[in-house]
Amino acid sequence: MTAAHRPRTGSPRLVVVESTGRIRHMARDALASLFEPGDLVVANDAATLPASLPGIHLRSGASIEIRLAGWMAIGDPTRFLALAFGPGDHRTRTEDRLPPPPLTPGDRLVLGSLVAVVESLTDHPRLVTLRFAGDRAHIFRGLAERGRPIQYAHVPELLALREVWTPIASDPIAFEPPSAGFALDWRTIATLRESGVGLASLSHAAGISSTGDPALDARLPFDEVCRMPDRTAATINTAKGEGRRVIAVGTTVVRCLEAAAAMDGIIRAGGGTATGRLGQRSTLRVVDAILTGIHAPGESHFELLRAFADDATLDQAFATVAGHGYRTHEFGDSMLLERRSPAAPTLAGGAHDQPVEQTVGQRPPQGDQKA
């Protein structure tokens, strides 16, 4: 397969993998025709931060790049989980990037007008926690002035921030774009509404897709904060109670919805953190289908798809899209994957009974609002 190297180029395609395993191909602009009146489409309205920051490690004077990778706590815009790299930029493959200068707690990093302190180290030299000096307004102003969108070598030209915002982007809390949402252009949204298909949104802080290190990549996705609005929770609960389908636009939406659902499948509104990981042994309580990008076996996004379909179906789907030259990565083509029929056989029959950890949907303490 070929990586899509520019946003909004070519004619995006869509592969549909039905619950029976049947596979169909179509143009992505026909997406709305696949939904029925009463279906509910849920999308992530998080806007993408300019989360790549070049700067200087003061103690050594060495160049450093910081890629913000996660919020450490809801309501605290000063503390982040971050990846650190040595000199270079996105044109070098992430796995080939130089390591950062040796970091110790208390080290100061000058990142344009921002100053960050290494708060703590992890068990990997690239992964640290940072605390920024200043308040939310100062930090976001510094990000806007100095930061750039995180991008990788398959996209050689520098991306403008507007190019990593989906059409419904709202609150800037994501570290990379919730890219499945690129499929929801305004024409598709209008057609869905005219067809009686419901639309709802939540805000999930989509994290990084690659660390450049296989051991770290195996831990993805990191913990991600999520906000479930009251209206969205009520709309989903009504749809499920009436036996209507819920279609998630992207893996972040699946993760947020399934983390927000209690054992009875009821969605709780509020803010929280999705800490669990979905995979082959997960039971989906809310989502009936997912609209996502083209993901390869071994990627964390692909692992989540194993909660929807057995390995034989996914292997066939991957072989099909590879043979048809589908484009991968955030600006690539799309897949609509329906959840396996309860009666359909699976390679690991009876083994998908492990829910994602239930942490989203818990109300934060008074005054603790997510950044």
Write out pLDDT tens, residues 177-200.
999 999 999 999 999 999 999 999
Banded pLDDT at 287 (limits 50, 70, 90): very high
CATH superfamily label, 2-48+158-338 = QueA-like (3.40.1780.10)
How confident is the model over 112-135, as a mean pLDDT? Answer: 96
| Whole-number pLDDT of residue 263 | 80
Q: Which of 249-253, 260-264, 341-345 has the lowest mean pLDDT?
A: 341-345
- % the chain with pLDDT above 70: 89
| Whole-number pLDDT of residue 276 | 83
How confident is the model over 223-250, as a mean pLDDT? Answer: 97
How far is residue 158's CA from residue 334's CA, in Å, rounded to a whole number?
Answer: 23
Checking if the pLDDT of 257 tops 90, the result is: yes
List, as one string, the DSSP characters of 185-227. -HHHHHHHHHTT-EEEEEEE----S--S-HHHHTTPSPPEEEE
Checking if the pLDDT of 34 tops 70, the result is: yes
Q: Which of 15-24, 58-67, 231-240, 357-366 has the lowest mean pLDDT?
A: 357-366
Of these ranges, 50-54, 293-297, 300-304, the one predicted with the greatest mean pLDDT is 50-54
Checking if the pLDDT of 83 tops 50, the result is: yes
Checking if the pLDDT of 355 tops 60, the result is: no
- Closest by CA position to 154, among listed 291, 7, 322, 28: 7
| Whole-number pLDDT of residue 4 | 67
| Whole-number pLDDT of residue 330 | 84
How far is residue 47's CA from residue 169's CA, in Å, rounded to a whole number?
Answer: 5
CA dihedral 155, 158, 160, 164 (to 10 degrees): 20
As a whole number, the mean pLDDT across the chain is: 89
CA-CA distances (angstroms) from residue 341 to 247, 282, 337?
Answer: 15, 15, 12
Query: Domain map of the chain by residue range?
Result: 2-48+158-338, 52-146
How far is residue 304's CA from residue 330's CA, in Å, rounded to a whole number?
Answer: 17
| Whole-number pLDDT of residue 298 | 79
| Whole-number pLDDT of residue 369 | 30
| Whole-number pLDDT of residue 342 | 58
| pTM reported for the whole predicted model | 0.89
How confident is the model over 243-254, as a mean pLDDT? Answer: 97
Checking if the pLDDT of 352 tops 50, the result is: no
Residue 203 · residue 224 · CB < 8 Å: no
How far is residue 211's CA from residue 119's CA, in Å, rounded to a whole number?
Answer: 20
Higher per-residue confidence, 266 vs 360: 266
| Whole-number pLDDT of residue 296 | 84
| Whole-number pLDDT of residue 5 | 63
| Whole-number pLDDT of residue 365 | 33
Q: Which of 154-168, 191-205, 241-255 has the lowest mean pLDDT?
A: 154-168
Banded pLDDT at 347 (limits 50, 70, 90): very low
Residues 6+ apart with CB under 8 A from 322: 1
| Whole-number pLDDT of residue 109 | 98
Structure letter (DSSP) for residue 310:
-
The SS3 of residue 247 is: strand
Q: Which of 28-32, 97-101, 349-353 has the lowest mean pLDDT?
A: 349-353
Structure letter (DSSP) for residue 253:
H
Banded pLDDT at 349 (limits 50, 70, 90): very low
Kindly state the helix (H) or strand (E) to which residue 54 belongs, with its residue range.
strand 52-57
List, as one string, the DSSP characters of 86-145. -S--TTS-GGGPPPPPP--TT-EEEETTEEEEEEEE-SSTTEEEEEESS-HHHHHHHHHH
| Whole-number pLDDT of residue 367 | 34
Q: Report how far Cα 91 is from the mean position of its chain's Cα atoms.
A: 22
